[in-house]
Structures are given as C-alpha cells and as structure tokens.
Amino acid sequence: MADCFGNEAETMAIRQRIVVEMLGETDEALATRARIDRESFGILYERYEDAIFRYCNRRLNDDHRASEASAQVFSRALDGLPRFRGGGPLSFRAWLFTIANRTITDEYRRRTTEPIERAAVIPESNISYLPDRAAERSEARETLRDALAQLPEEQRRIVELRLSGLNGVEIAVVLEKTHAAIKSSQFRAYARLRELLSSQEID
C-alpha cells in the first residue's frame, strides 16, 4: 500500500514539475504542444482568459455576452490550433485576438437590431496606454468611455487592443493593416482623445 501511495505521490510531483516548466514556455511553444496535449492549452487559457474577457466586454458592454463570446473565442482557438503557424508578426496573442475580433464581428451581425457602436468599459488597472494618463482617476472612467465612443471605429479598435496589451505589430495583424497605418491611426486617436478629455475637464 505504501508503494502505491509512493508511486501516486511521485506521479503528482512529476506532473507539477512539468506544469511549472510549461508555465515558463512561450505562447508559441505551448500552442505547438497543445495540438497533442490539451493541458498545454489550459495554460494558454489561464494566461489570456482575463484579457480576452475584458476585450469582449469593452466591445459588447455586457458581462453575460462577453462571457459567452470569450468561451467561443477559446473554443475556436482550440479547434484552429492545427492551422496556427506562428512566426514573424503572427504571435499567438495576435492570432488569439484576431479570433476575438472576428467573434465579436459575428456577434454584431447576429444582433442587427442592437446598436453596433458600443462604448468601451475600461478597467481602471489597464489604462496606462492613454495619453496623459487622463483616466487614472476612477471618476474619469465614464468620461473616457464617452470619449472612446466618439472615435472612428478603426481608431477605437486600436485603443481597445492597446488596452488589452497588444503592440503595434500585433494590432496590425488583428486588424489586417500595415504597421505604419496602425501607428498613424493610433497617433490620431490619441490626439483626438486628448481633445475630448480636455474639453470634458473644462466643462
């Protein structure tokens, strides 16, 4: 009996060590491994669950719908892993957010009776990308949401993806634009946000 428990404890220890080692692996390495080992995908899920949910919630402004959309994103990602080929600008993160962007677009198409242009709900802990750190105060969140709603759609998408932690190259992949175009649109978006937020503060 002792040997039985000893073997079980040893097996558990080995599994824990493997998981710890996998936690230090790159997204791309885990994605490759996850094609045959679902536990690896579980680690990717843990890494991006919160970021994907928040991105969906900014776009949909509804916790329940965001939760459903997030689940769909990861389901599509798991199904699509055999087709994922990382390299160059196509990081796993960019690929995953491309799926999220398309999932939200599909959601809008299914709900044609609802307004497509939704204001983003900005988590207070993830807003350091915005100019002049204007929204660091909790009372500015509503103002910022209104300001984002006034941006052109592409500029708003860029800011939302920035808030999700993506860099310019990854955003270009998600939105299928050149990096130069993303940088130009981002500059205009931040300039417009400064104007809108400044006018709100003056009022």
Residues in the chain: 203
Q: Where are the domains of the chain?
A: 49-202
pTM check: above 0.75: no
Cα separation values, 102 from 6, 66, 190, Å? 49, 14, 24
Which residue do the tokens 């719908």 mark?
65
Distance of CA 86 to CAs 40, 83, 95, 103, Å? Answer: 16, 10, 8, 20
Q: Give residue-wise pLDDT tens across range 1-25.
A: 545 555 665 555 445 445 544 557 8
Please give the pLDDT value at position 202: 47
| Fold of the 49-202 domain | Butyryl-CoA Dehydrogenase, subunit A; domain 3 (1.20.140)
pLDDT tens across 56-85, in order? 998 888 899 999 999 999 999 999 999 888
Q: Distance (Å, rounded) from C-alpha 128 to C-alpha 136?
A: 7
